[in-house]
């Protein structure tokens, strides 16, 4: 996206450097990176970043509005509402596809959004290793909001740990040591001294939750929540006894589970902005769009692209047993924007915002990128391809 930076990077690239980069990346926790890391970062122009941040600001205005909870009450599935919700989510992330605008220049299009943690720790380790191994312009930075690494870690710790002893804060997940993103859990422990804990390890006494840390029964006062309820439900029969996370325990959630639903695909039909493809609740459609081939069909309650229908037909809409749980979203055509040795790659960029308790607004803090040469972003669409996978952005100053 920035020609001189791309030329310099590609000219300085070699397979040997890439292997050394992967070895260094793996050295923090050998064997814990269970996904493909791309050969290159993404170089983002100042103007493109401004477009993304302006779009985020528009959405954050809605989330900060006092009426937002009322407008999104129906987003939380029956039986999954959890007591103890804070006024705002601690984290909000926005996914943008890099597309081509009417002027022929790159332009972001909002694809999805979530009030849920992502790779906050890994996305410090990854760009540091790009910088160590490859020619990155020295004045380009991966962090946003004016943060340096110590300031970023301090902000993350203030939000997740706060004034609670770290041993009483846990990173909660389903089988965390089997997750593809476990490298992020281990780096979070390195930075914040909180441990990944499986939902099966929690037990209750009254309204209080506990786990065993180094053989000692330890109270849980804060939960850094990484549990995707879909994932938990899918595995529940094989997990054995698991406490009901919606039961109103005497803990503080970071972020609260209700926000996973409020700020999600459910919000897309409520947004009207030039850089946000129009979306509709299927149950609200009066007529089927004539250009249905220019839309994708997405389930509201799914994760990592599961259940998405790319080639939508009227029959798909007619056969839905639960149209209230689906949206129809106008396609965003990703640009073949990243020049690589074996053909161009598409790109998706995630901006990560952190919302500290007491702050009027969240602040942009970090990013991640994903490169693809397939029909969609994701591993299953990029098998046996190179210059694809997880990455990071470096922003023009």
Residues 6+ apart with CB under 8 A from 393: 41, 42, 43, 44, 142, 349, 367, 368, 369
Task: Please state the rounded mean pLDDT for residues 315-338.
Answer: 92
Q: Say if residue 371's pLDDT is above 70.
A: yes
Candidates 284, 314, 287, 288; CA nearest to 300 is: 284
pLDDT-based confidence at 2, cuts 50/70/90? very high
pLDDT-based confidence at 305, cuts 50/70/90? low
Task: Please state the rounded mean pLDDT for residues 21-36.
Answer: 97
pLDDT-based confidence at 44, cuts 50/70/90? very high
Most confident among 77-91, 195-209, 314-328, 371-385 (mean pLDDT): 195-209
Element of type H or E holding 371 = strand 363-372
pLDDT-based confidence at 230, cuts 50/70/90? confident
Q: Say if residue 304's pLDDT is above 60.
A: no
pLDDT-based confidence at 302, cuts 50/70/90? low
- Maximal CA-CA distance, the chain: 63
- Of the listed ranges 175-179, 294-298, 306-310, the least confidently predicted one is 306-310
Distance CA 24, CA 28 (A): 8
pLDDT-based confidence at 25, cuts 50/70/90? very high
Residues 6+ apart with CB under 8 A from 115: 89, 91, 92, 93, 255, 259, 260, 262, 263, 264
| pLDDT confidence of residue 104 | 85
pLDDT-based confidence at 178, cuts 50/70/90? very high
Sign, CA dihedral 119-125-130-131, equals positive
């Amino acid at each position: 996206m920035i020609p001189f930076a791309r030329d310099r990077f590609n000219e300085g690239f070699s397979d040997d450097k890439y292997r050394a980069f992967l070895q260094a990346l793996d050295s923090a926790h050998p064997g814990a990176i269970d996904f493909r890391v791309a050969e290159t970062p993404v170089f983002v122009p100042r103007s493109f970043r401004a477009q993304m941040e302006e779009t985020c600001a528009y959405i954050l205005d809605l989330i900060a509005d006092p009426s937002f909870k009322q407008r999104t009450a129906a987003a939380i599935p029956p039986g999954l509402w959890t007591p103890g919700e804070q006024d705002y989510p601690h984290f909000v992330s926005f996914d943008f596809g890099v597309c081509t605008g009417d002027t022929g220049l790159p332009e972001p299009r909002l694809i999805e959004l979530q009030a849920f943690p992502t790779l906050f720790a890994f996305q410090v380790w990854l760009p540091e290793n790009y910088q160590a191994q490859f020619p990155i312009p020295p004045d380009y930075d991966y962090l946003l909001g004016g943060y340096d690494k110590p300031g970023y870690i301090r902000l993350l710790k203030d939000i997740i740990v706060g004034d609670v002893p770290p041993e009483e804060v846990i990173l909660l997940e389903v089988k965390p040591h089997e997750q593809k993103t476990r490298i992020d859990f281990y780096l979070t422990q390195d930075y914040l001294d909180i441990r990944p804990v499986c939902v099966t390890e929690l037990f209750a006494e009254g309204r209080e939750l506990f786990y065993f840390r180094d053989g000692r029964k330890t109270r849980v006062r804060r939960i850094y929540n990484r549990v995707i309820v879909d994932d938990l439900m899918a595995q529940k029969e094989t997990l054995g006894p698991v406490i009901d996370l919606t039961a109103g325990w005497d803990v503080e959630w970071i972020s609260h589970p209700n926000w996973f639903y409020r700020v999600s695909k459910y919000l897309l039909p409520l947004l009207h902005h030039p850089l946000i493809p129009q979306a509709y609740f299927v149950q609200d459609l009066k007529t089927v769009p004539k250009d249905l081939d220019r839309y994708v069909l997405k389930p509201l309650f799914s994760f990592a692209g599961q259940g998405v229908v790319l080639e939508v037909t009227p029959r798909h809409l007619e056969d839905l047993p639960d149209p209230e749980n689906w949206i129809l979203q106008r396609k965003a055509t990703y640009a073949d924007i990243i020049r690589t040795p074996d053909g161009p790659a598409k790109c998706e960029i995630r901006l990560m915002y952190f919302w500290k308790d007491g702050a009027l607004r969240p602040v942009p803090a970090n990013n991640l990128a994903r490169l693809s040469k397939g029909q969609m972003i994701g591993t299953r669409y990029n098998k046996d391809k190179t210059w694809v996978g997880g990455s990071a952005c470096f922003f023009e100053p």
